[in-house]
């Protein structure tokens, strides 16, 4: 293999920042004011966006990288890491975000894809990338391209946790399956997964991904955050769920507590007290196929 990402020293630095975000909550924000609220509530990072996914869904049109001015204002407003999204395959948007010194790039299905076959060759960059995945094969293809963090896609902007649950359960189940296979079976499994054999072997040996495995797409309550973490996610992204609720700061704090005390029902109860109404949410089974964001990515 020409480049094995797992032996690249720069990869250690990229995965290192992802490690620092474990047990935390990464919050979508659209301006400096929201970023300050997120930091004050205890976010471990913010994702700078022009529109949150539920508005992208509502308003339609092409969703692109955020305007530079918004990202800069957010970078100046907070001390925690600032992430930003680039379109799938749009490596020049990614180069601009890298030049802007964002701390992490999300090559995201929430934006309109720029390439319907290829993702960005992320190993070429100094800045780390996170990518969405619905299953193990997709996760390992993204890691082979250089992603330093994987998150479930879920269904962004839906306020509905069912897809994130499906994706984290699928990834965990597929990893568990690899750990009981013989070496010759892994070659066949790599073929079925459409993933490089060296990464399939690594997962078979360790029973986990070689990068942190987070969850995103539909988390709207402390209970949602705790659910995906109990299913194996190591941290959560919350998009529309915070700033589309009627009590953003209280909800942000509650989800931060839930991400730490996800196994403790009493503390989860305390975190869930006194919250107002969450975002409305969508029944994903009633959405037409063309409106699903999770099916973007290859």
In whole angstroms, what is the distance from residue 67 CA to residue 191 CA?
Answer: 40
85 is an active site residue: yes
**Residues 132-191 close enough to bind another protein by CB under 8 A:** none
CB of 61 closer than 8 Å to CB of 69: no
In whole angstroms, what is the distance from residue 138 CA to residue 28 CA?
Answer: 24
- Nearer Cβ to another protein (23/281): 23
Name which position in 6, 36, 73, 98 contacts another protein (CB under 8 A): 98
In whole angstroms, what is the distance from residue 43 CA to residue 24 CA?
Answer: 7
Q: Which stretch binds another protein (CB under 8 A): 6-14, 54-62, 64-72, 194-202?
A: 6-14
Q: CA torsion sign, 290 to 129 to 53 to 209?
A: positive
* 96 is an interface residue for another protein by CB under 8 A: no
In whole angstroms, what is the distance from residue 21 CA to residue 113 CA?
Answer: 27
Q: What CA–CA distances, in Å, run from 167 to 139, 228, 253, 284, 292?
A: 11, 10, 26, 14, 14
Residue of 85, 122, 153, 253 marked active site: 85
Name which position in 21, 70, 168, 204 contacts another protein (CB under 8 A): 21
Shortest separation between residue 127's beta carbon and another protein, angstroms: 6
DSSP string covering 171-211, please?
HHHHHHHHTTS-HHHHHHHHHHHT--HHHHHHHHHHSS-SS
In whole angstroms, what is the distance from residue 293 CA to residue 57 CA?
Answer: 9
Name which position in 36, 42, 112, 250 contacts another protein (CB under 8 A): 42
Shortest separation between residue 6's beta carbon and another protein, angstroms: 13
Name which position in 69, 79, 283, 285 contacts another protein (CB under 8 A): 79
* 23 is an interface residue for another protein by CB under 8 A: yes
- Nearer Cβ to another protein (82/190): 82
Q: Which residues are catalytic?
A: 85
**Binding interface with another protein (CB under 8 A):** 9, 12-13, 16-17, 19-24, 39-45, 79-81, 98, 101-104, 126-128, 234, 253, 256-257, 259-261, 264, 267
């Amino acid at each position: 293999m020409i480049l094995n990402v797992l032996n690249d020293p720069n990869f250690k630095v990229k995965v290192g920042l992802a490690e620092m975000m474990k047990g935390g909550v990464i919050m979508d924000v659209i301006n400096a004011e929201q970023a300050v609220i997120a930091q004050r509530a205890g976010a471990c990072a913010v994702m700078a966006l022009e529109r949150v996914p539920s508005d992208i869904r509502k308003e339609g049109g092409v969703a692109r990288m955020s305007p530079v001015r918004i990202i800069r204002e957010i970078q100046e407003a907070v001390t925690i890491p600032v992430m930003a999204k680039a379109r799938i395959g749009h490596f020049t948007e990614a180069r601009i975000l890298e030049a802007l010194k964002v701390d992490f790039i999300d090559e995201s299905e929430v934006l309109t894809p720029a390439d319907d076959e290829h993702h960005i060759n992320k190993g070429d960059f100094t800045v780390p990338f996170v990518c969405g995945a619905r299953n193990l094969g997709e996760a390992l293809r993204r890691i082979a391209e250089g992603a330093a963090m994987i998150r479930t896609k879920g269904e962004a902007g839906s306020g509905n946790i069912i897809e994130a649950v499906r994706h984290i359960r699928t990834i965990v189940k597929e990893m568990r399956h690899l750990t009981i296979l013989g070496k010759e079976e892994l070659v066949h499994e790599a073929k079925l997964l459409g993933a490089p054999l060296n990464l399939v072997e690594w997962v078979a040996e360790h029973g986990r991904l070689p990068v942190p495995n987070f969850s995103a797409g539909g988390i709207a309550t402390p209970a949602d955050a705790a659910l995906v973490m109990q299913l194996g996610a190591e941290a959560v992204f919350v998009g529309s769920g915070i700033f589309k609720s009627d009590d953003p700061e209280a909800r942000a704090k509650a989800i931060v507590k839930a991400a730490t005390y996800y196994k403790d029902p009493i503390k989860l109860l305390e975190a869930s007290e006194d919250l107002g109404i969450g975002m409305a949410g969508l029944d994903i089974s009633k959405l037409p196929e063309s409106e699903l964001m999770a099916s973007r990515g290859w």
